[in-house]
Amino acid sequence: MAAPLFLVPCDPLVPRLPDEHYAREAVAARDAGLAVAVVDHDAIVAGDLREALRRVPDSDVERTAWYRGWMLSSSAYSRLGAALEARGLRLLTGPADYRAAHELPGWYDTFAASTPASAWLPWEPGRTPTSADVGPLIEALGGGPAGGPGVVKDYVKSRKHEWDEACFVPDLADTEAATRVIARMVELQGDDLAGGIVVRVFEQFAPDDGGRAQEVRVWWVGGAPVLVTPHPDAGAGGAAEVPAEVLDAVGASVRALGAPFVTTDLAPRTDGAWRVIEVGDGQVSDLPGGQEPGVLVEALAGVSVPGPA
């Protein structure tokens, strides 16, 4: 079968070229023997798939494709997948696998032993939660009125840059205070609120020099750890090492999840235990700015994921 096609977002100003953010990966993909085509991210989001795929070549033989680009909602990814199918192109990460890796409720059970305890509630963008909504959600976190600090986010993203206002809950037993933080998170996410509300038990991660968790991103292709990078937010000198036994344990969960291209953000707690902070679909996970993309793209070029029988 032909090598997968490598789809990247186009530059909004020069639409025949890859967006600058993905230009190095596009070059690396060509170097690895992949054909590269651009898709129009804004048109995908707007639901205009004809326009979005205008520059994707037609193919007579069935071909597979990777997407590497800006995050898409699970429903937008699904529409992209369907429009590509109509052109004889099958995304190697199918829509169900994308959702499973991209949204916390999709991966949580598989990683439950190695990630902070979490509870969630489907929620519509723009609707303001009250304590009557939040109380039962927090109770679901520990089977009772869980006390102690917590962290809130939607199914995909947090408002970590508005930590005190819209991310961190000092005491989950204080339902009114938790409701204020969650309501602010929902408000700030606006129309981008993904799926619903997630509440997580806060765990104490070992801080780096800047006080951040020492988060390391592991990139998994076909269930194998092909690249370990600092978290993109860590800046220069971020940690990029994970003990082998941690990789083995997390790898078992990644393989159980089944999605073919996944990232896991891992960090050590102050007690030394390594934890999974979040899982992501590898296609929409950011590489740190200084990271050479060759190794990753070569792994993607070599993958052959069995299709439906």
Ligand X SMILES: Nc1ncnc2c1ncn2[C@@H]1O[C@H](COP(=O)(O)OP(=O)(O)O)[C@@H](O)[C@H]1O
Nearer to Mg ion, 194 or 303 (CB): 194
SS3 113: helix
Query: Cα(143)–Cα(205) distance, rounded to whole angstroms?
Result: 24
Strand order in the sheet with 196-201: 118-122, 196-201, 150-154, 168-169
Q: Which is nearer to ligand X, 151 or 259 (CB)?
A: 151
Interacting positions 203-242 with ligand X (CB under 6 A): 203, 205, 213, 215
Q: Output b/e per residue, 81-90; b: 16+ Cβ within 10 A.
A: bebbeeeebb
- Residues numbered 161 to 180 that lie near ligand X (CB under 6 A) are none
Q: State which of residues 12, 82, 160, 270 lies at the interface with ligand X (CB under 6 A).
A: 160
Shortest separation between residue 239's beta carbon and ligand X, angstroms: 13
Q: Residue 162's CB: how many other CB atoms inside 10 A? A: 14
Contact between residue 52 and residue 40 where contact means Cβ atoms under 8 Å apart: yes
The count of chain residues that interact with Mg ion, using the rule CB under 5 A, is 1
Kindly indicate which of the ranges 12-20, 38-46, 119-127, 151-159 contains the residues binding ligand X, using the contact rule CB under 6 A: 151-159
Site for Mg ion in 155-194 (CB under 5 A): none
Q: Which stretch binds ligand X (CB under 6 A): 24-32, 86-94, 123-131, 195-203?
A: 195-203
Stretch that binds Mg ion, among 80-88, 201-209, 220-228, 270-278 (CB under 5 A): 270-278
Q: Which of residues 248-307 bind ligand X (CB under 6 A)?
A: 265, 277-278
Number of residues in contact with ligand X under rule CB under 6 A:
16
Asked if residues 101 and 120 have their Cβ atoms less than 8 Å apart, the reply is no
**Least distance in Å: CB of 305 to ligand X?**
26
- Build a one-symbol-per-residue string for 97-126: x at contacts with ligand X by CB under 6 A, - elsewhere: -------------------x----------
Amino acid at 1: M
8 Å CB contact between 189 and 127: no
Q: 19 vs 278, which CB is nearer to Mg ion? A: 278
Span from 33-41, 53-61, 123-131, 202-210 in contact with ligand X (CB under 6 A): 202-210
Is 41 among the residues that bind ligand X (CB under 6 A)? no
With H, G, I as helix, E, B as strand and everything else as coil, classify residue 152. Answer: strand
Stretch that binds ligand X, among 139-147, 201-209, 234-242, 246-254 (CB under 6 A): 201-209
How far is it between the farthest Cα atoms of the chain? Answer: 60
Q: Among residues 199, 179, 196, which one has the least CA distance to residue 123?
A: 196
**In sequence order, what are the residues at sequence separation of 6 or more whose Cβ sits closer than 8 angstroms to the Cβ of residue 154?**
123, 185, 186, 189, 193, 194, 195, 196, 197, 198
The total of other beta-carbon atoms located within 10 Å of residue 269's CB is 14
Minimum distance between the CB of residue 29 and ligand X, rounded to whole angstroms?
26
DSSP 205-270: BPB-TTSSB--EEEEEETTEEEEEEE-GGG-TT------HHHHHHHHHHHHHH--SEEEEEEEEBT
Separation CA 174–CA 29 (nearest Å): 51
Which region, judged by CB under 6 A, interacts with ligand X, from 69-77, 138-146, 194-202, 235-243? 194-202
Residue 202 interacting partner from Mg ion, ligand X, none (CB closer than 5 to 8 Å by kind):
ligand X
Interface with Mg ion (CB under 5 A): 278
Interface with ligand X (CB under 6 A): 116, 151, 153, 157-158, 160, 200-203, 205, 213, 215, 265, 277-278
